Chains A and B, each alone.
Chain A
Amino acid sequence: MEPRKKPNKVYKFLNSKNVVPYLFVAPFILSFLVLTLYPMVQGIIMSFQSVLPGQVNFIGLDNYERIFNPTFYKALSNTIWYVVFTVLILTIVPMMLAIFLNSKLVKFKTLFRASLFLPALTSTIVGGMIFRLMFGEQDTAVANQIISFFGFDAMNWRFTPWTAIFLMVILASWRWIGVNILYFLAALQNVPNELYEAGDIDGASAWQKLKYITIPQLKPIIIFVSTITIINGFRMFEESFVFWEAGSPGNIGLSVVGYIYQEGIRQNDIGFGSAIGVILMLIIFLVSIIYLIATGTFKRGEN
């Protein structure tokens, strides 16, 4: 045994059960104050200012009045389409795949599961670079080879409005599919088996079991996955950056965060960028709340 040190007052104080938890939590408090609360308050303040190096002026609502311009509307509509498509694809497709991967019908499950997860390990930049080469404008690029096989004309994927959004959606869907499959698989393992046995006794078909047992049981995870996809969708930046870097023609690939980056960093107009940030936060907040109310998440007593 170690020889006991003489109890010193400071030492005793630092080791008391009343003080220790606060010391443990201190890094969090500090980082919350410096890295969350301060920038949040500062961001709101800056949104009412024009911020130039060494010169800060209060300009009231000017930044907010400037926001409602065609570029912002374009960025917002691009982002909304992106959110709608990614939510639909990244909820339905991984759910169906997880149901299949959880059934006895499919063989080689471990191999499929691991392979479907692989894209999540790459960065959006690497993924985007591959997609740029696959969806190149040349007739020889994979995507064009495939569509011309089906009799369509080769496309200029990166420079046509709808295909621009399609590229961003498909890149995000590709990267996140495996992660969402894992969420659904975890949830499927918690569906009580008795429900299916009861269904069997009542002579339910596979389709009826899916509709009346599996999907209702998966409802909480469907809401979870779709909610984080909505929130992440509004934060989209990299998918756009990797296809068009500085800017897409007619802003066909601009996202709201991309607009913040363009104005706040590139144009060095931090005040205006902050105002867009505040608006974006309100939008995310509003959409999430409406979505959660609409899906009945706040209702108690159900389930």
Chain B
Amino acid sequence: MKAKKNKRLLTVLATLGVGIITFITIFPLISLVVSSFRPSSDLMRDGISLSIDFSAMNLDNYTYIFTQASEYWDWYGNSLIISAITIVLSLFFSSMVGYALAVYDFKGRNFFFILVLLIMMVPFEILMLPLYQLMIDVQLIDSYFGAVLPMIVAPVAVFFFRQFAIGLPLQLMDAARIDGSTEYGIFFKIMLPLMAPSLAAMAILQGLGSWNNFLWPLLVLRSNDMFTLPIGLATLLTPYGNNYDVLIAGSVLTIIPIIILFIFFQKFFIAGLTTGGVKG
């Protein structure tokens, strides 16, 4: 009887403890949303404060962003376009490479695979200055293509697709060959659809990475109307600015596509994240 009571007390305490930490973790996001309804002058004066005056809250920040802040929507569009290109191209190329490394037996296969693992370990920041110089030389500065180029064949994605493709049923390939299918037909019509779960997981990871990417676009994108959202928002973070109306409502709207993507593919995402990473 006593043991049972103790256990219930423990349950309450543990749940409460984890609950408090969870609350602290999501508190910044809650306060972001709440603050987006506060006048921006308040934010300038008080920062985010615990005392909230609900009567002072209104939709002005959102009205402003939807009617006045045309540059914000340029950034939004750029982010959408760049993320979409990155997702499509990186899934296309990386799945092709990962698949080939998994199912074909060819000379150099192990060499290429080890190369993938090695590149995963080279931090991008080391390569960024020479790449930046290269982009200047080939005049890709301030272009979508320049912004996505280094992300097209992602070694992490190649690795992940290879791990997934190893489990594909190879007998299907022989059957398709007997039916006269080409190797390309086998990949696009039979194997790629079988890889759908891994494609979904990578779509989210690559989308998330690209949507929130900062340093490379910061170097490559120069003009205001070419900025992506993170860069555009960062330019508003000036010591003297009172852009909090765009900044705060804009930030809330920034998270929406990611939340939609996340809710939609949550199951694949978590599975993808864990299999992709732990075996690394």
Contact = CB atoms under 8 A, between A and B. Distances in A.
Contact of A43 (B96, B121, B130, B280): B130
Nearest to A101: B18
Contacts of B127: 35-36, 39-40, 43
Contacts of A178: 25
Contact of A142 (B21, B50, B262): B50
Nearest to B274: A186
A130 B28 contact: yes
Contacts of A46: 129-130, 133
Contacts of B153: 27-28, 31-32, 35
B237 A24 contact: no
B212 interface: yes
B41 to A, nearest CB: 13
Interface in A243-269: 245, 257, 260-261, 264-265
Interface stretch (A14-22, A69-77, A208-216): A14-22
A160 interface: no
Nearest to A232: B123
Interface residues of B, number: 88
Nearest to A126: B251
Contacts of A270: 129, 132-133
Nearest to A264: B129
B171 interface: no
Interface in A205-257: 221, 224, 231, 234-235, 237-238, 241-242, 245, 257
B139 interface: no
B99 to A, nearest CB: 7
A297 interface: no
A15 B278 contact: no
A135 B35 CA distance: 14
Contact of A112 (B22, B100, B116, B126): B22
B251 A183 contact: no
Interface stretch (A80-88, A114-122, A195-203): A114-122
Nearest to B79: A123
Interface in B119-178: 119, 121-134, 149-150, 152-153, 158
Given A108-B15, A112-B18, A174-B25, A273 B129 contact: yes
Nearest to B232: A125
Interface of B: 10-11, 14-15, 17-19, 21-22, 25-26, 28-29, 31-32, 35, 43, 45-51, 93, 96-97, 99-101, 104, 106, 109, 112, 115-116, 119, 121-134, 149-150, 152-153, 158, 180, 182-184, 187, 208, 211-212, 214-215, 219, 229-230, 233-234, 237-238, 247-248, 251, 254-255, 258-259, 262, 266, 270, 273-274, 277-278, 280
Interface of A: 1-2, 4, 15, 17-18, 20-22, 24-25, 27-29, 31-32, 35-36, 38-40, 42-43, 46, 51, 97, 100-101, 103, 105-108, 111-112, 114-116, 118-127, 129-138, 140-142, 145-146, 174, 177-179, 182-183, 185-187, 221, 224, 231, 234-235, 237-238, 241-242, 245, 257, 260-261, 264-265, 270, 273-274, 277-278, 280-281, 284, 288
